[in-house]
Amino acid sequence: MSRPRDLIAAAAGRLAGAGVESPQSDATELLTHVLKVTRSQLTLVDEIDAAAEAEYEALVAQRATRIPLQHLTGVAYFRHVELQVGPGVFIPRPETELLAGWAIDAADPAGRVDAEGGVSRSPIVLDLCTGSGAIAKAVKDECPAAEVHAVELSVDAFAWAEKNLAGIDVDLRQGDAFKAFDDLVGTVDVIACNPPYIPLEAWESVALEARDHDPQIALFSGQDGLDAIRLLELRAAELLRPGGVVGVEHADAQGESAPEVFRATGRWSDVRDHKDLAGRARFLTARLRG
């Protein structure tokens, strides 16, 4: 019988030695997963039996090989929603929660009221390259009046999105994000997209959890990482209504080059870049000119 504190300390040391970015947090999360308790409930656990300890040690050993934490627990948390994830789908990152928050604020129907003070219509929101369905699910959760649509090209990722959006009023389609939704051309209020944006030349610098386990289609986008963003700019200009807005995640090194893709065309106003909580350039937003 072992105490949780001792197991976590040993596991965190092993994970730190393996180069895991957040060893203490991951060690704790794995133990709560094994014991099926929350972090606050873990403080009430005095000792762990041999079977649970063996299961925990096996998971820690896998995490030390840089298998993503979420692949081991099967769950990712994104804003206020829970997502099922595993091999074949991009694991949503905390930084993308900021893009989702921007989309939620932009879609908030509070500003679209009629003369009697009621909502005049539901804002139309698209989540392009939806992956696990994270942004779409978060938008619908926090802005239930929105009409939400999502699209994913990968067959494997689409299957995960189907699971995560099952029973939720989101129109999920399989297909090319930059060709989909012909039926919505010129009507969309908000587009959010976390496209592939890593330059091919940056292969060696990508974290092992992403490089070895996230689908390549969700990561890399040409020599400069901007190929998908260029396609998105073209399609967003077709899908949005005049005055509609688009938000696009990008690499921290693309804080100038990604917005320039939009500025250079002359189709957009209010092109801005936004930083993440660590102060790194993270996503751009733009408004389609009328």
In the annotated binding site for substrate, the residues are: 194-197
Q: Which two tokens stand for residue 142?
A: 């926090």
Place of tokens 């997209």: 193
Provide φ and ψ at 256, rounded to 5°.
-110, -40
Taking the CB of residue 290, how many other CB atoms lie within 10 A of it? Answer: 8
Give how far Cα 181 sits from Cα of 91, 125, 157, 171, Å: 25, 12, 19, 11
β-pairing verdict for 170-174 and 188-193: unpaired
Show binding-site residues for S-adenosyl-L-methionine: 152, 194
Q: Which two tokens stand for residue 194?
A: 């976390």
Provide φ and ψ at 148, rounded to 5°.
-110, 135
Please give the DSSP secondary-structure letter assigned to residue 147: E
Show binding-site residues: 152, 194-197
CA distance 146 to 48: 46
**Residues sharing a CB contact under 8 Å with residue 170, sequence separation 6 or more, in sequence order:** 133, 136, 137, 140, 148, 149, 150
